[in-house]
Amino acid sequence: MFSASAFAMAACSEKDPVEQKIDSLLSRMTLEEKIGQMNQLTGIGLADDMTAQIRAGKVGSILNELDPGVINELQRVAVEESRLGIPLVFARDVIHGFKTIFPIPLGQAASWNPQVAEDGARIAAIESSSVGIRWTFAPMIDVTRDPRWGRIAESCGEDPYLASVMGAAMVRGFQGNELSDPSSVAACAKHFAAYGATESGKDYNTTWIPELQLREYYLPPFKAAADAGAATFMCSFNDINGVPSSGNAFLNRTVLRDEWGYDGMMVSDWGSIEQMIPHGFCHDLKEAAGKAANAGIDMDMMGYAYISHLADLVKEGTVSEKYIDESVRNVLRLKFRLGLFDNPYVDVTGEDIFYSDESLGKARRAAAESAVLLKNDRKVLPVGASVRSVAVVGPLADSPADQIGTWCFDGEPEHSVTPLAAIRSMYGDKVRVIAEPGLSYSRDKSAEGIRKACEAARNADVVLYFAGEEAVLSGEARCRADISLPGAQTELLKALKNTGKPVVLVVMAGRPLTIGYEAGLADAVLYSFHAGTMAGPGLADVIFGKEVPSGKLPVTMPRMVGQVPIYYAHKNTGRPAADITLIDDIEVGTKQTSLGFTSYHLDAGDSPLYPFGYGKSYTEFSYGPVTLSSDRLARGGSLTASCEITNTGDFDAAEAVQLYVRDHVGSLVRPVKELKGFNKVFIRKGETAKVEFVLSEDDLAYWHSAELSDGDLAFAHSTLVHTAEPGEFSVWIAPDSASGVPAVFSLE
């Protein structure tokens, strides 16, 4: 019989076979070969001596090479001609599709259906791995409360819980059942961390975030991605509290490795190590290389910092070889997990698997499921059988490249099916389609086409106006200080409205836009975050009623940009908004003291245009009261919250049911609501579904000081704990973040 200690020793000696292989390889590597594994170069405009560098063991990974023939040849040099035969890993930004493009991630999040995100990532993995890409730089799970930031398009929106669920689904989709399967690609949780907090919504900008806020808001999606097995992480460009992420040992070592026990690989962002020089954090590239290596960045993406300086830094003692070994272990572990040592080449004999019927079908459903119906007066939508003619108007109606959205290097606009093309081919035999763009692109300011567009409107029963933003107006470094509809799109809408015909405004954009005025003019508003290759058929399905809209907002939509940041999980002030008087209602000469003293904007009030989680359907859902299995939650126990939801309308439809919680009183002020669960359920008309959520102590936990009685200690970093405090909690089961009646329970 084993004693406990003998058992522990036996377990120790049975080291994971992958770790044994890494040990053996590492013991044979020179310092230069180790550093070579930490170097990632671009394949675009391959350096003349790339082959020689690979042969010499100076390259660990290549990004942006897409020709499978070239990939195999470079791989052959690595495997057959370098001293140790370590394979390369080929990487690419495959964010929301490779060839078959799904909605931008913000749109996928609007589906509130993790299966949409998983399917999108799976198809992206199958297509991109077929040319030899085995590592993608996705999912991007930076939460953000700033729609000015162009990269909100790539994110899953403002909420850490929604982003956690969607991000984990994407990880599963990219990585498949086995990372070693040739159709799997390693995921990369990026950008670690708090990139979405970028000041003024301007890309790469500075952030200042107390540790409590970092842990409570920005880090949870990354923890969820690590738990879902994301094989790699990427650091962010921004500095946090003065320390750029590329040199941030607290994030990359203390949190990621020590606390979370993460054993994947951490890559820098493109040139982000070198960029610590203009940040003013390092004097030169050598110092930057040292700070990044010491902070736990395993691989240098296109910075030439490691390959140029790490060897000297180790010899001088600035960087310990122990750190180099840890990084190389992480790189080799990724390559073993991907099966590259056994199967380094891409099979080029297979059939082309791009744009399969199944993939296009899923992309079409995703486009439909991520569209959010914001307004539908007089039930203008769906376009019914009595409609004989539609005017298809607007700069986004037939713009194949724009509907693909940002961060799509490999999407092919010639494969996009636009709304105009889809409506013509799907419904052209049932309705007369009168197409007149009115404006030729979203920023077009010329009024020349407006007259013709109005003529088209007058000749039609319904106007379908496809407005929005070109793809190039969102994405990396594509930030806007004014997030209204660009160009003369509002003028065009006004003119269309004046024809007296019902106008359906379909917005196709990379971010929430301030469309309050336009939403007031339109009879119906359907919001689509650039929905990809099949945006046209997906939107046509919704517009003509083949699909019932079920998307809900993954972000709060502001009335005006000055409200930003505006988000549902805000904290209450000591003087919450009440008795709001708007600027136009203030009489001239009104005294300062007569308006009251509560928290709101004179010109915007205190509410968003549309709240987080909001989205209408063609049917109606009636929510019953929230029922709790008990009004007390015991420590370590659980409590079930349930609600009966009846489809009282005329369509079978899906509903994203949302669970929110509020901690009434905390040792630190708590948000007025926090999303803790959601479930998209399909309910036939006339039927009722009971939706249940199980809540545990963990769902109520938050980061605060260990000393519950003293809020001041929140500023003492070392005392932070993640626990639930006793007291009363409200729980809502609701269609969005702004409605519902809560039930109350207490935690002992």
Calculate the CA dihedral of residues 330, 336, 339, 341 and round it to 10 degrees: 120
Q: Distance between the two ends of the chain, CA-based, in angstroms?
A: 44
DSSP characters over 424-489: HHHHTTTSEEEEE-SSSSTT----TTHHHHHHHHHTSSEEEEEEE--GGGSSTT---S--SPPTTH
Among candidates 624, 609, 569, 605, which has minimal Cα distance to 735? 624
State which of positions 256-275 bind ligand NOJ (CB under 6 A).
269-270
CA distance 274 to 236: 13
Nearest alpha carbon to residue 188 among 125, 137, 117: 137
Site for ligand NOJ in 100-159 (CB under 6 A): 137
Question: Using the 8-state DSSP alphabet, how is residue 65 labeled?
Answer: -
β partners of residue 161: none
Distance CA 676, CA 662 (A): 10
Nearer to ligand NOJ, 270 or 614 (CB): 270
Reduced to 3 states (helix: H, G, I; strand: E, B; else coil), residue 152 is helix
DSSP label at 737?
Answer: T
Minimal distance, residue 472 CB to ligand NOJ, in Å: 16
Secondary structure in 3-state letters for 473-516: HCCCCCCCCCCCCCCCHHHHHHHHHHCCCCEEEEEEECCCCCCH
Q: Which of 33, 65, 93, 274 binds ligand NOJ (CB under 6 A)?
A: 93
Q: How far is the CB of 344 from ligand NOJ (least distance, A)?
A: 23
Question: Cα(692)–Cα(641) distance, rounded to whole angstroms?
Answer: 6
* Least distance from ligand NOJ to the Cβ atom of residue 567, Å: 23
Report the alpha-carbon distance of residue 323 to residue 316 in Å, rounded: 14
Quote the CA–CA distance of 457 and 474 in Å, as a whole number.
30
Q: Nearer to ligand NOJ by C-beta: 137 or 621?
A: 137
Structural contact between residues 578 and 596, judged by C-beta atoms closer than 8 angstroms: yes
Count of residues of this chain found to bind ligand NOJ when the rule CB under 6 A is applied: 6
φ, ψ dihedrals at 208, nearest 5°: -135, 105
- The CB-of-190 to ligand NOJ minimum distance in angstroms stands at 6
Q: What is the CA radius of gyration of the chain?
A: 27
Distance CA 331, CA 324 (A): 11
CB of 468 to ligand NOJ, least distance (A): 23
**Separation of alpha carbons 532 and 540, rounded Å:** 14
**CB of residue 320 vs ligand NOJ: minimum separation in angstroms?**
28
Q: How far is the CB of 141 from ligand NOJ (least distance, A)?
A: 12
**Residue 421: its H or E element:** helix 419-427
In angstroms, give the least distance from the CB of 21 to ligand NOJ. Answer: 29
State yes or no: cis peptide before 726, omega within 30 of 0.
no
**Two structure tokens written together for 477:** 């470094």
Cβ neighbours for 226, distance < 8 A, ≥ 6 positions apart:
189, 233, 256, 260, 262, 264
Specify the residue, 141 or 311, whose C-beta has the smaller distance to ligand NOJ.
141
List the one residue from 99, 172, 190, 501 that touches ligand NOJ (CB under 6 A). Answer: 190
SS3 709: coil
Catalytic residue among 269, 398, 410, 523: 269
Q: How far is the CB of 237 from ligand NOJ (least distance, A)?
A: 6
CA distance 230 to 246: 19
Say whether 703 sits in a helix, a strand or coil.
Answer: strand
Give bridge partners of residue 435 from the DSSP assignment: 392
Give the tokens for residue 694: 């199980």
Among candidates 137, 105, 337, which has minimal Cα distance to 234? 137
Q: Is 269 a catalytic residue?
A: yes
Sign of the torsion formed by the C-alpha atoms of 450, 451, 452 and 454: positive
Site string for ligand NOJ, 445-484 (x = CB under 6 A): -------------------------------x--------
Kind plus residue range of the DSSP H or E element containing 244 = strand 243-244
* Nearest-approach distance from CB 186 to ligand NOJ, in angstroms: 13
What is the C-alpha to C-alpha distance for residues 222 and 297, in angstroms, rounded to an integer?
16
Nearest to 412 by CA among 476, 474, 355: 355
Burial of 657 (0-12, 13-18, 19+ CB in 10 A): buried
* 697 touches ligand NOJ by CB under 6 A: no
Cα(340)–Cα(328) distance, rounded to whole angstroms?
Answer: 15
Please give the C-alpha separations between residue 332 and each of 86, 93, 319, 326, in angstroms, as whole numbers: 8, 21, 20, 10
Q: In the complex, which residues of this chain contact ligand NOJ (CB under 6 A)?
A: 93, 137, 190, 269-270, 476
The catalytic residue positions are 269
